[in-house]
Amino acid sequence: MDTTLVYILGFGVLMSLIAVVGGLFIFLPEAILRRWVKPIVACAAGSLLVGAFVHMLPHALSAADDQLMMMLWVAVGFTAFFALDQLLEWHHCHLLPSEHVQPLGPLLLVADGVHNFLGGLAIGAIFLVDVRAGIAAWIAAALHEIPQEIGDFGAMVHAGYTRRQAILYNFISALTFPLGGLIAYGVGQGMNVHFLVALGAGNFLYIAGADLIPEVKRAERLRETGTRFVFFVLGVALLFVVTL
């Protein structure tokens, strides 16, 4: 089997398992969740920005005959996720369960499935371009998924699902991530997939800039602000370390 395909499948399934991990976090005391969810979100924001600017965009642009067109794909990726938020009237919330934005239930699962599929396409494409960059982008995406799954799991329990059902359905929804990776691999056998890398960069930029940073930039205490900024810098540093 092609080594690149093994990476895409392995990391794709591992991403799906994060849905289960997110569900387990909900068993922690709420005080601990309140303390650590926002710093994790800040860390994810920093890592996603570096993933887009350092690991994805350079690869997309280096192989582009028309760099303007490649940047247009970045804008398409950004706009597509904005449209997804608006169309489904659901925000990729990373807050505590009691703060999660509705609607809930099936709509949440559909939105998660689409989100994971597009993420799988992007990560699969960058694995085809450069395995090391693919691992870095996967790390950034995984850091984003953990707090998201905590919120999604809590929202589904609040909507009436049992904990077991919430974990199972979240996992099934997350299987669209390796599916997206497989489709990217298949497409990559017959054509240049750098446009999917650019599309993924736009995805990362939207999630970091429009979704995550607004959630963590304001805090009631100066200490909380400082902690979140430190975790943001840690996210940036983590993805730079992977670059070395």
Average pLDDT over residues 131-141: 92
The least confident of 30-34, 133-137, 221-225, 231-235 is 30-34
Determine the distance from the C-alpha atom of residue 188 to the mean position of all C-alpha atoms in its chain, rounded to a whole number: 22
Contact 185, 131 (CB under 8 A): no
Question: What amino acid occupies position 96?
Answer: L
Enter the tokens of residue 86: 């608006």
What pLDDT does 197 receive?
93
* pLDDT band, very low/low/confident/very high, at 71 (cuts 50, 70, 90): very high
Query: For residues 79 and 100, what is the distance between their CA atoms, to the nearest angstrom?
Result: 23
What pLDDT does 244 receive?
61
Average pLDDT over residues 33-57: 90
CA angle 43, 46, 49 (to 5 degrees): 145
Residues 6+ apart with CB under 8 A from 223: none
Contact 123, 27 (CB under 8 A): no
